[in-house]
Amino acid sequence: MSDYSISAIGHIQSPYKQKFAIPRQPRLVPEAKAKLIFTSEFNREEFVRGIDEFTHIWLLFRFHETADKGFSAMVRPPRLGGNERKGVFATRATFRPNAIGMSAVKLEGIEYKNGQLSLLLAGIDLLDGTPIIDIKPYLPYSDAMQDASAGFADTRPETQMSVEFTPEVTSFIEQQTQYPDLLNFISNVLKQDPRPAYKKQKDGEQSYGMTLYDYNIRWQVNGEHNVVTSIEKS
């Protein structure tokens, strides 16, 4: 096997500060906005000239948080309840040879501010700090295949999860102005039911936490109902 040396062309600045609760594919939570910040070598407008003609782009990236944990030939896809195994190349699992990921995301703009070039993105499924190794425009005429089918992952994963916010949390969110979509963002993240498969099979109330942007958020799950019980600056 040949060895290649690949280095990042940029990094993602994402509201997702931990792996838990990140959607399992892009575009499931459209409120997830991020910036792709180019490294100094690629921090020039020429590298992206013309990209604004595309509504969506492919990001190729490194699963940097878990890359050192290696891979196995077979994995347990969460959408099969964590019980059935499939070959790693038949899945989008993070633990894979070379630890390379790909996500098609919405391109909302290009920013050049204080000498820093960035792409403004939405609907991402990436952890804060994810190294980006390449960008390519999404080509609907070729990339969108009308006759495609996808076996065990054929449909968008839907849950029946409902989300409620305590009055204190609602008023906290309404009072902050920095993230106008924060309520819908949290709600759509929780509707994906980020719990690991084995927890979904357990009865009784469960309590979870995540950090989005610089907010620590806690919620409780009972059956198919989530209640967001606290939010505070981290």
- Could you list the residues that contact ligand SAM (CB under 6 A)? 19, 22-26, 63-66, 92, 94, 101-103, 125-127, 130
Min dist. Cβ of residue 174 to ligand SAM (A): 28
Distance of CA 123 to the CA centre of its chain: 7
Min dist. Cβ of residue 31 to ligand SAM (A): 16
Residue with Cβ nearer ligand SAM (127 or 169): 127
Query: With b meaning 16 or more CB within 10 Å and e meaning fewer, what string describes 203-214?
Result: eeeeebebbbbe
Tokens encoding 83: 């019980």
Residue with Cβ nearer ligand SAM (6 or 102): 102
Tokens encoding 147: 């006759």
CA dist., res. 81 & res. 21, Å (int): 16
Residue with Cβ nearer ligand SAM (139 or 222): 139
Residue with Cβ nearer ligand SAM (149 or 175): 149
Q: Give residue 129's region: left, alpha or beta (phi > 0; psi -120 to 50).
A: left
Cβ atoms of 114 and 34 within 8 Å: the answer is no
Min dist. Cβ of residue 104 to ligand SAM (A): 8
Min dist. Cβ of residue 23 to ligand SAM (A): 6
Min dist. Cβ of residue 195 to ligand SAM (A): 12
Residue with Cβ nearer ligand SAM (22 or 210): 22
Contacts of residue 31, Cβ cutoff 8 Å, sequence gap at least 6 = 122, 181, 184, 185, 188
